[in-house]
Amino acid sequence: MNNEERLYRAIGEADDELLERMEQAMAAGKASHSDLKKRRRIWQASVASLLVAAAALLLIFNDSLFNRDGNVTYTASGPVVDRAIGNEPSSSVVTPGNGQIVYFDSVRRAFETNKDSRTKYFVAIDLFADDMPLNVGSFDTHRELKRLQELGLQVGYAESWTYQGEGVQVDYLYAAGLLTAEQLKNFPASSEYGYAFRFATNADGTPVPTENFVESGSQTKMK
């Protein structure tokens, strides 16, 4: 259960408890009509206060996940590889278990072929927990990316687009990294998550450029 669910459950429990007390008072004849009106106003004010607090906490949570003011500029001092060479069969990758790392064939071929140690690979990072994919907007994804950033890895979010409806382009975020072959081979995996690395593409098959690398939800410039 995440923080949002706990918060709304607490509001619901408070709501039920106050209503139950009012009903008990009515049944026992201990509350007059004016008393009930007073208690109803108190109850409504309490629920309103809880909802305001809930909204404030959600804004804080969302702002911490998608911080519009905390831009971080990642610098690539050498060449960058951001796409696969040729087509890649989807069967080449299995779902990684907790603590496991899986590389798409194109990523493995790329860092085994390139001998320049300065080369960085702009890759999508698919996160899993207990064999289930994590949503990019989840608290777990945000926490894990923050942990990796604190270890000195250039990871964050990237922006791609897909088709929705009748050819309408819709942007979306995914977890991404700008990592060297050494960092990919010695990736500091957590025992809580599984990791799959691939080259991302837009819905039309074009690679996502490094200029679309973002951090904490705000656009990040590449040099």
DSSP, residue by residue, 118-168: T-EEEEEEEEEETTEEPPTTSHHHHHHHHHHHHTT--EEEEEEEEEETTTE
Residue 10, token pair as written in the block: 């607490």
Which range marks the domain in which residue 37 is found?
3-65
Beta carbons of 49 and 10 less than 8 angstroms apart = no
- Is 10 contained in some domain? yes
Radius of gyration of the chain (CA): 24
In this structure, are 200 and 140 located in the same domain?
yes
178 closest CA partner among 132, 130, 222: 222
pLDDT in tens, 36-88: 555 555 545 544 444 444 444 443 344 333 343 444 555 566 789 988 876 55
Residue 128, token pair as written in the block: 């899993």
As for how many domains the chain has, the answer is: 2
pLDDT at position 209: 86
In this structure, are 89 and 45 located in the same domain?
no
Beta carbons of 155 and 145 less than 8 angstroms apart = yes
Cα–Cα distance for residue pair 147/5, rounded to 1 Å: 24
In this structure, are 54 and 123 located in the same domain?
no
- Is 156 contained in some domain? yes
- What is the pTM for the complete model shown? 0.64
For residue 100, which phi and psi values (nearest 5 degrees)?
-100, 155
pLDDT at position 160: 93
